[in-house]
Every structure is written in structure tokens, then in C-alpha cells.
Amino acid sequence: MNKNDLSILKGTFLHTPSAASFTCHKEHYLAVRQGRIVSLTPELPEKYAGAPIADYSGHLLIPGFVDLHTHAAQFRQRGLGLDLPLLPWLETYTFPEEQRFSSLAYAHEIYDAFAAELLYQGTTRVVTWATIHEESARLLCQALEKYGLSAYVGKVSMDCNCPEYLKEDTTQALENAESFLSSYVKGPLVRGIVTPRFAPTCSRELLQGLGQLAARYQMPVQSHLSENKEEIAWVNQLFPERAGYHDVYDYYGLFGQMPTLMAHCVHLSEAALERMREKQVFAVHCPDSNLNLGSGIMPARRFLDAGVPVGLGSDVGAGHTFSMPQAIVRAVQLSKLAFLQDASQKPLTLSEAFYLATKGGGRFFGQVGSFEAGSELDALVLQPARHLQTASPVEQLQHFLYTQNAAAITTRYIAGKQRS
């Protein structure tokens, strides 16, 4: 066996192979070859003797976090205007900020800061939005690659019902989208994703063309769905021929024909829920932004019980932090409020919410988010506080998640490589 391509991590490993509970492996040896986990054992197998060992004894190792929905271009506007509802917030803060990304110098500055902050917070995989500006979107890809982050990046497409300074000509929008997507069909870390902003800002011709691009290049899709009631009414007015918001995307090949993420899904009909289950469309729960903009509470339990894949998103800048521990905690808290309104909606456990931010969301990237054999190694090495040294690993994790102290992360691994 060639030991040159083998590495060993030693420490206490905590993960959620299933959402039902945490699984802990105290002082174990994790063997990794070519970025994938080979084994996790209490003793070092004799055949691995002589392989380099990174000794994290006394530390807690958890999977890296997966953020399935955030807006890189809204990095600077975190916390701004969050007393407004969705549509006025977009018009007052988001669209003017996104206009600034016509400047490559500005894009370079913001996107570098964005990628650095993601890594610091412990996010190892992200699905993110740029703006309509193709060259700026390429700078975002470069920034993510620089920091070693695994990502899907979307160049936004929209051609109507938006400010003139962000409105694309439909033909040009499709040409720009194809130019960007064709450059990032496959990559070791960063790939493209088809990104209609949301149905109201896309003409039928644009939606049809984006669906065709997704099929042609076999690319995944992301957009927004049923975030607030005003938005839903607007979609129904704009597309009266379709059987609901979800059906607009589905009709144009943007709803499960390729792997698909739909953010928010707060006010979803039974028909839409069933379509998502049938096509295995991911619902991305964005607790912070739903609270900040007063959109409502996504009924996470309803989706999980229905068999719809669910992940978590920070949704910066409607969300005000990239901390996925906060998204985990907020998901649990909001599920308790949902339970008070509907006793059939059992609150999420911490292990379930942690699963959504690791293996659950990681499914969109493949075999990611746990320490099971065959998974890509994404890991965070945590240094528990001195007063927690005698606490159990689960208690140490609880403390980390609820205090959200990113400084406790001493080392990060992404796709098998140490990144900090």
C-alpha cells in the first residue's frame, strides 16, 4: 500500500450519520486517502503504520458546515434595513448594493472578504449568489478557490420587474449565463449553478432559456420560492396560467429536472410540497432571514416528515451572520414556535438541526458532511474551553453551537486538505 497518499487524523470525532442522534468516537484514528475517508477505528490499523498522523488528542472534530443559500454580493449590507419586509428591502438596500458590482475593483474587495469570513466561521461548502455581472461572478469563483472552499456559484439572471440598472436584455442574459456556466461545468472546488433570481424578475423567455441551459450543461439550479405572501400573490398575478409558484419553475425545467435548491419555502401548498418530494427538490431553511424580514416560519418538520430533502442557509444579507451554528440554533428555536402554533409540528432536536447543516445539506455536493467511510473529508477541529475539558463531547458541541465562538476552531479541512 502506498502510504504517501494516506493521512491520519487522531482525536474525538462527533457527527450525525443519521439525523436521529449524535455518534461519538472518542480518541479514534481517521484514515484519509485522496480526500476521502477510508476508515474510523479505535486503534491504528497495522497496515497504516508509518503514515503521517495529525494528533488532535483533547480536541473535538466535527464535520464542516454546509451553507446552501447565501448572497456573496450582500456581504456589506449585513444588518441594514432589516426592519423592512422583503420587497421594500430589496428595492431600498439590495438592488442598489448589487449595482456596485459592475466595478471589478469593488467586487474583488468584497468577494475576498466574503470568502475569508466563510472559512473563519467554519463553512466548508457553500452555494452562493453573485450578481448579474459576469466578470464579477468570475472574481467570486476565484476568491472561493483562493481560500480552498468548495462551492456552487450562480451568476444571477433577471430581465424584468427590477431596476433598469440591473435589468438584462433577455438574449444577452442567456448568452452571459451560458458563457459563465460553460466555464464552470466541472472543477475541483468551484462549479456553476443556474440562477434565476426569482420568478417575478424573469420573463417566460428567460426562464425557458435557463431551463434549457441547465439541461444542456447538466447543471444544478437555485432560486427562491414562497418566501412571503406578497411575493406569492405577485407570482400568481404574473403567471396566472401556472398552478402555483412552484409550477412556474417546473414548467420551464427548473424544478428537479436537475438537482435543485429552493430557498425559504415558508408558505407552501400541499401540491408544491408533494412536487418537491416527488422530484427531490431541496428546501433550504433560512431561519435568520425569515425572522429579520418577517416572512414567517418554514415548517421544517413538515418537510422532513414528507421526505423532502432539507438543508440550512445563512441567507446573508437578509440574514445578518454567516455563522451556521446560529442557523442551527435558530432552526431549533423556530421549530419550537411552530410547535406552539401547530402541535403536530414536533420541534427539531439539536442532532436533527446539526444534520441539516452537515450531512443533510452536504448531500447536494455528494457524499459530504459525516465521518463515514467514502465521504469527502470536511472537518473542523475545535479546542474546547478549559472549563469544558471534563464535559462530554456532545456537551462541548452544544456549548460551541450556542455560544457561536468561531475562535474555538483551530483547524479546517476541506475535501481532505488542511485549509487553516
CATH of residue 19: 2.30.40.10
Contact 316, 294 (CB under 8 A): no
pLDDT in tens, the chain (420 residues): 455 689 999 999 999 999 999 999 999 999 999 999 999 999 999 999 989 999 999 999 999 999 999 999 999 999 999 999 888 998 999 999 999 999 999 999 999 999 999 999 999 999 999 999 999 999 999 999 999 999 999 999 999 999 999 999 999 999 999 999 999 998 889 999 999 999 999 999 999 999 999 999 999 999 999 999 999 999 999 999 999 999 999 999 999 999 999 999 999 999 999 999 999 999 999 999 999 989 999 999 999 999 999 999 999 999 999 999 999 999 999 999 999 999 999 999 999 999 999 999 999 999 999 999 999 999 999 999 889 888 999 999 999 999 999 999 999 999 999 998
Q: Using alpha carbons only, give the angle 117, 297, 235 rounded to the nearest 5 degrees.
A: 95
CATH number reported for the structural domain that contains residue 286 in this entry:
3.20.20.140
pLDDT of residue 186: 86
Handedness of CA 72, 117, 420, 368 (dihedral sign): negative
**Are 127 and 9 members of one domain?**
no
**Are 49 and 101 members of one domain?**
no
What is the reported pTM? 0.96
**Are 18 and 45 members of one domain?**
yes
pLDDT of residue 416: 96
Q: Per the structure block, which three cell numbers stand in for 254?
A: 427548473
Query: Which domain does 345 fall in, by range?
Result: 65-365
CA–CA separation, 213 and 122 (whole Å): 33
**Are 136 and 27 members of one domain?**
no
| DSSP track, 195-261 | -B--GGGS-HHHHHHHHHHHHHHT--EEEEE--SHHHHHHHHHH-TTSSSHHHHHHHTT-SSSS-EE
Residue 148's nearest CA partner among 380, 346, 340, 419 is: 419
Residue 68's nearest CA partner among 138, 129, 131 is: 129
**Are 262 and 401 members of one domain?**
no
Q: Per the structure block, which three cell numbers stand in for 56?
A: 488532535
